[in-house]
Structure 1
Amino acid sequence: MSTIAAQTIIKDEDPAAFIRPPPNKKKPYPFWLGGVAATIAASITHPLDLTKVRLQATDDKRMISSLKKTVANGGVRGLFDGISGTWMRQLTYSICRFWAYDESKKLLGANTPNAPPWKLATAGVMAGSIAGIVGNPGEIIMVRMQGDAAKPIEKRLNYKNCFDALFRMVREEGTSSLMRGVGPNVVRAVLMNSSQLASYDFFKAELLKTSYFEDNIIVHTAASFAAGTVATTVCSPADVLKSRIMSASGAEGKSTIELIRRSMRNEGAMFMFRGWVPAWMRLQPTTMLIFITFEQLKNLVDWTRSFRESN
């Protein structure tokens, strides 16, 4: 028997010769990554969010005049009124929604590039239902702290920070106050996640199906721009109601139906889209910053893991 033939037999009889190491399954990203990205984005766009809330919940009529009024009353620092409430909201609501969205996609089998839009939207609905409840206290605190300086002095709550707001709400209004406006907030969270998160995944996947794009910052920017416009329009009615209910204190904020009737009677149906422009101007860069930052944080995690494995 020739040497080559003998080697062939040995190779054929040796199972180890055919064993291939299984491909390394990519580790999941930290569940809090999306919340950190959202916190960074919200910190940058806080002045626009502040203006949106004041337009929706006070007598301010125009975005520029509202911004000027804020600076006149509180200086440049006034543009960051309630920033600790924003951080509390993002570190509860956003962490929860990104985690729940990923888990819901796994449950529905939608964590693939070819996932149908209805599955992505359903995952967004599931995530929003959970995050809207978990993040409700932070949402109330954020809205109250942002709108407080625009109120008459005698009606201001004067919370020192988000923790002072939390303790005072429980002490002065009871634990149930933490769930005030939870209905509209959950509706808005469902609308936001099924439009913003799902549409980002959809637009990103559609762009990557073409031969013109790669998975880079250009695609992330384009997909997030489209997602921001979709989300602003879909969420506007619930956003307006949420801001008005949460900014109210005492008996005036207890009846959602009465608030809707009063707003319809005084302003007409278009009150539901009041503040759309500042909402878009705030949500658009926020959405873009969230997803661009999120993708870059994922790249950083990948780089860190590769560095550790190579050393």
Structure 2
Amino acid sequence: QEEEEAVPLKKEKTHFTVRLTEMKATDKVKLIKEVKNFVPGVNLVQAKKLVESLPQEIKANASKEEAEKIKAALEAAGGTTQQEVKMRMMGMAMHVIRTDGFLALYNGLSASLCRQMTYSLTRFGIYETAKNHLGQGKQGPPPFYQKVLLAATGGFVGGFIGTPADMVNVRMQNDVKQPPAQRRNYSHALDGMYRVLREEGLKKLFSGASVASSRGALVTVGQLSCYDQAKQLVLATGLLSDNVFTHFLSSFIAGICATFLCQPLDVVKTRLMNSHGEYQGVVHCAMETAKLGPLAFYKGFVPAAVRLVPQTVLTFIFLEQLRKYFGIKVTT
């Protein structure tokens, strides 16, 4: 019989809900073989060592950037259908390396650093300065509600100032999952901000500023005020002194609080910044996300915690050591 001519189907845009699962032993063996076949000159033993060391490499050297990339991919992929695609963190990392090279894991690094120099510098400066001003001439630290208000103010202002770098950061990290013809290919953060300003205007450069500012307020409340309060409560028990372990415990609690508070807005912010005009604004984006159910606001929670908790822990451990080195006393 004569074969019928195949009619090409029209490609439809599909949205996926992505879930991360732990790698099974059988999948690990497959990945080892895949690495051996993909990398020239690598034998099975070397491939096994590479695969087994990959989580430690990511955790030690690129945990924030890798987790940010996966988190952005999760949130941007959360769409309008119930179709699900299961992806493993290690498998996704290997896919990025395989298609775009190892340095692709660091896409958005310059934008991330630029964001920290604007966003974090502002919120820490406002919070610490105002807290020290309120604490002058008083016995003990300010009450918790004052810490929350100060942190929210500092985070809101910092979020607004850091919006341009934040947008470029999200776009650069999402570039890796776009077809080559649709990638923006920003060289670095300043190039990205200049191109957005030139091609899309000043308004687009601050697109999502209200969400970013609100998110900045929430994450700063979770990090700064919750850290100070957790440290105060831990020291009040008398079981621990003001040492590195106390700083670690307090900052770990603060990281969890910050992730829980900011994740809903983080999802809306990512979808809004990565949109192509399908949302009319923040409220419309939030309403469309709500149609997927309450848990849609917590898509990518685990990768977000993997990124934010270590960042919070390292930030405050280094901050406390810098305070100690420079002789800065903090009332606790």
Q: Shorter-chain TM-score: what band?
A: 0.7 to 0.9
Matched, 1:93 2:112: no
TM-score, reference length from structure 1: 0.77
* In structure 1, C-alpha distance between the alignment counterparts of 2:96 and 2:266, rounded to whole Å: 21
* Alpha-carbon spacing, 1:155–1:182, altered in 2? closer, same or farther (3 Å): same
Q: Alpha carbons of 1:82 and 1:112: their partners in 2 closer, same or farther (altered >3 Å)?
A: farther
TM superposition shift of 1:260: 2.7
Partner of 2:20: none
Task: Report the alpha carbon displacement of residue 222 of structure 1 after superposing the two structures with TM.
Answer: 0.5
Q: What's the C-alpha RMSD, in Å, of the aligned pairs?
A: 2.3
Question: Which residue is 1:160 aligned to?
Answer: 187
Distance 1:186 1:286, change over 3 A: same
- Structure 1 segments (4+ residues) deviating >6 Å: none
- Change beyond 3 A, Cα 1:108–1:78: same
**Residues 176-187 of structure 1 mapped to structure 2, 5 A cutoff:** 176-187=203-214
Give the aligned partner of residue 254 of structure 2: 227
Percent pairwise identity: 32
Q: Give the Å deviation of 1:158.
A: 1.0
Higher relative contact order (CA 8 A, sep 6+): 1
Classify the secondary structure of the residue corresponding to 1:212. Answer: coil
CA distance in 2, matches of 1:207, 1:99: 25
Q: Does 1:300 align with 2:319?
A: no
- Structure 1 residue aligned with 2:309: 284
Counterpart contact for 1:51–1:63, Cα < 8 Å: no
Unaligned stretches of 5+ residues in structure 1: 1-40, 304-311
TM-aligned CA distance change 1:171 to 1:134, over 3 Å: same
| 8 Å Cα contact 2:123/2:154 also seen in 1 | yes
Relative to the length of structure 2, the TM-score reads: 0.73
Aligned residue in 2 for 1:73: 99
Deviation of 1:84 (Å): 0.5
> 1:203/1:43 Cα in 2 relative to 1: closer, same or farther (>3 Å)?
same
Distance 1:278 1:42 in 2: 16
Deviations 1:202-248 (A, max 9, x none): 01111222322221111110000111111111111001111111122
Deviates more, 1:66-75 or 1:140-149: 66-75
Give 1:130's aligned amino acid: V
Q: Are residues 42 and 145 of structure 1, via their aligned partners in 2, closer, same or farther at CA, if it must alter by over 3 Å?
A: farther
Separation of aligned partners in 2, 1:112 and 1:71: 55
Counterparts of residues 1-311 of structure 1 (less than 5 Å): 45-58=64-77, 62=87, 64=89, 65-109=91-135, 113-249=140-276, 251-252=277-278, 254-265=280-291, 267-302=292-327
> Does the 8 Å CA contact 1:104/1:127 hold for their aligned counterparts?
no
What is the identity, as a one-letter code, of the residue corresponding to 2:286? I
Partners of 2:269 and 2:88 in 1: CA distance: 19
Deviation at 1:45, TM superposition (A): 2.1
Considering only CA atoms, is the larger Rg found in Structure 1 or Structure 2?
1
* Paired residue total: 261
What code does the residue aligned with 1:47 have? E
TM-fit CA distance, 1:156: 1.5
Change (3 A) 1:61 1:94: farther
Residue 113 of structure 1 deviates from its aligned partner by: 4.5
Deviates more, 1:269-278 or 1:293-302: 293-302
- Most deviating of 175-184 and 69-78: 69-78
2: distance between equivalents of 1:55 and 1:46? 14
The one-character-per-residue Cα deviations of 1:147-186 (angstroms, maximum 9, x if unpaired) are: 1111233322111111110110100001111210011111
For 2:227 and 2:144, the matched residues in 1 are separated by: 11
- When residues 113 and 69 of structure 1 are mapped into structure 2, their CA distance, relative to the original with a 3 A threshold, is farther
* Structure 1 counterpart SS, 2:142: coil
